[in-house]
């Protein structure tokens, strides 16, 4: 009997030096360094460069990378026009997918799949995703697109382009930390999709467009938005316990909990929960936080034994919501961070490329013959 690895669970298809996960113990490291240390000490720019280079950068390397990102923040006018004319009401992930694909049309280097080109395009895309996502938000609100500022960090500049207002140092730091937590996560569905596309020696824009499509689904990046929908549906903290019990009784999946790899607390959700707790202690518990606390308690009590615990999406939405970001933009913000992980993984994989081509066990009929159309029932 042939074993089928449904969902490719446990299938090892490549080697990687970027990210290590121990799902049973809730451990996540990048380049061997625990995610908690990255979140506490580092920045989006530094972790992105570290993954692209496969090592912690020197101060000089980081300064050059930072300058490169800043120099590439602006998006072509033609793309800004396309974004402005996109239909209102489309999901921002649809808009992002289209915008990134269009950006590829405008990049004369886009068809170059050599290692140097892949890296140069990665730097541009890491810089420009931020501008594109902010522009999509502004256009959907019928507001002027805000040009990037060169004196702000990647996180600070994004918040500035989104709102038109310079964020506080605290908001910038918080958003930067959230980006750091989302930069990479091993062979998740979107990274795998990016790699699968790259394995055909397709171009970086095609890889990233495919990855955006994979991230969009509610079982992956779309879960953070679904968590907020759930919190809005619950309404008030006193209704949370009955709501979740009813969902679990009906065997409905709860968004923001469970993970293919983690069978214990996702360490990223702990960092975000710690932050939420600090805010709660300072400013009092928000309604969202109180609902999440109850949901976490019930889930862990009832299905923790199945390895179901909160994942990164459980608390991330409340952090973004504290920053005044609309829930439709939670998944694009995930992409804004994950672009670095996608690019680094594609660069690593294509450095020793092999076409990805798995197989399926054929279970259809084997002895059929063609029947003419007029003879079919």
Degrees to nearest 5, angle at CA 99 with 95 and 103: 175
Closest to ligand ACO by CB, 20 vs 68, is 20
Is 313 an active-site residue? yes
> Which has the closest alpha carbon to 323: 167, 213, 129?
167
Shortest separation between residue 19's beta carbon and ligand ACO, angstroms: 13
Shortest separation between residue 183's beta carbon and ligand ACO, angstroms: 12
Query: Which residues in the 303-322 window bind ligand ACO by CB under 6 A?
Result: 303, 306, 308, 311-313
Degrees to nearest 5, angle at CA 19 with 267 and 199: 135
Closest to ligand ACO by CB, 103 vs 312, is 312
CB 96 within 8 A of CB 136: yes
Quick one: DSSP state of residue 306?
G
Shortest separation between residue 301's beta carbon and ligand ACO, angstroms: 13
- Please report whether residue 256 would count as binding ligand ACO according to CB under 6 A: yes
Q: Which of 91, 119, 173, 260 binds ligand ACO (CB under 6 A)?
A: 260
Shortest separation between residue 299's beta carbon and ligand ACO, angstroms: 7
Closest to ligand ACO by CB, 253 vs 285, is 253
Structure tokens at 294: 């109850």
Shortest separation between residue 212's beta carbon and ligand ACO, angstroms: 14
Q: Which of 146, 162, 207, 257 binds ligand ACO (CB under 6 A)?
A: 257
- Please report whether residue 254 would count as binding ligand ACO according to CB under 6 A: yes
Distance of CA 353 to the CA centre of its chain: 24
Shortest separation between residue 16's beta carbon and ligand ACO, angstroms: 18
Q: Both ends of the chain: CA-CA distance in Å?
A: 35
- Please report whether residue 223 would count as binding ligand ACO according to CB under 6 A: yes
Residue nearest to ligand ACO as judged by C-beta position? 258
Query: Which residues in the 320-359 window bind ligand ACO by CB under 6 A?
Result: none
- Among residues 30, 154, 182, 259, which one is catalytic? 259
Closest to ligand ACO by CB, 119 vs 260, is 260
CB 138 within 8 A of CB 75: no
Q: Which residues 6+ apart lie within 8 Å of 212 measured at CB?
A: 93, 96, 97, 100, 190, 335
Residue 257 pairs in a beta bridge with 310
- Among residues 107, 176, 313, 322, which one is catalytic? 313
Site string for ligand ACO, 3-42 (x = CB under 6 A): ----x-----------------------------------
Q: Which of 156, 167, 237, 258 binds ligand ACO (CB under 6 A)?
A: 258
Q: Residues of 177-208 as b/e, b for ≥16 C-beta within 10 angstroms?
A: bbbbbbbbbbbbbbbbbbbbbbbeebbbbbbb
Is 119 strand, coil or helix? helix
Q: Quick count: other Cβ atoms within 10 Å of Cβ 171? A: 18
Closest to ligand ACO by CB, 104 vs 256, is 256
Q: Which of 24, 71, 219, 246 binds ligand ACO (CB under 6 A)?
A: 219
- Cα(185)–Cα(260) distance, rounded to whole angstroms? 12
Is 259 an active-site residue? yes
Q: Which residues 6+ apart lie within 8 Å of 347 measured at CB?
A: 52, 115, 118, 119, 122
Shortest separation between residue 223's beta carbon and ligand ACO, angstroms: 3
Burial class (CB in 10 A: 0-12, 13-18, 19+), 32: exposed
- List active site positions: 220, 259, 313
Applying CB under 6 A, the residues found at the interface with ligand ACO are 7, 219-221, 223, 253-260, 303, 306, 308, 311-313
């Amino acid at each position: 009997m042939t074993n089928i690895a449904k969902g490719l669970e446990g299938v090892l298809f490549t080697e990687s030096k970027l990210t290590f996960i121990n799902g049973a113990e809730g451990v996540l490291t990048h380049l061997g360094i625990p995610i908690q240390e990255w979140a506490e000490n580092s920045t989006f720019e530094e972790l992105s460069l570290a993954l692209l280079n496969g090592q912690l950068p020197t101060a000089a390397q980081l300064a050059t990378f930072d300058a490169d990102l800043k120099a590439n923040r602006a998006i072509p006018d033609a793309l800004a026009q396309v974004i402005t004319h996109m239909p209102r009401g489309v999901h921002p992930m649809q808009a992002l997918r289209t915008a990134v694909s269009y950006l590829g049309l405008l990049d004369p280097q886009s068809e170059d799949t050599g290692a140097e080109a892949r890296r140069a395009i990665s730097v541009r895309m890491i810089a420009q995703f931020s501008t594109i996502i902010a522009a999509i938000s502004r256009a959907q609100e019928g507001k002027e697109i805000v040009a990037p500022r060169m004196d702000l960090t990647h996180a600070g500049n994004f918040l500035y382009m989104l709102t038109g207002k310079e964020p506080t140092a605290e908001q910038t730091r918080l958003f930067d930390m959230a980006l750091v937590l989302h930069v990479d996560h091993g062979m998740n569905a979107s990274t795998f999709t990016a790699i699968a596309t790259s394995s055909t020696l397709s171009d970086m824009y095609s890889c990233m467009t495919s990855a955006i499509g994979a991230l969009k689904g509610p079982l992956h990046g779309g879960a953070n938005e679904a968590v907020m929908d759930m919190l809005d549906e619950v309404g008030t903290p006193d209704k949370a316990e009955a709501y979740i019990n009813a969902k679990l009784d009906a065997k409905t999946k709860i968004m923001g909990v469970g993970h293919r790899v983690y069978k214990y607390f996702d360490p990223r959700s702990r960092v975000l929960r710690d932050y939420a707790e600090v805010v709660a202690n300072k400013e009092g518990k928000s309604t969202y936080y109180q609902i999440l606390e109850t949901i976490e308690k019930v889930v862990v009590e009832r299905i923790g034994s199945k390895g179901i615990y909160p994942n990164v999406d459980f608390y991330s939405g409340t952090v973004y919501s504290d920053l005044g970001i609309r829930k439709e933009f939670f998944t694009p913000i995930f992409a804004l961070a994950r672009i670095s992980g996608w690019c680094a993984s594609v660069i690593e994989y294509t450095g020793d490329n092999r076409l990805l081509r798995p197989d399926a066990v054929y279970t259809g009929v084997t002895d059929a013959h063609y029947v003419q159309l007029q003879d079919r029932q």
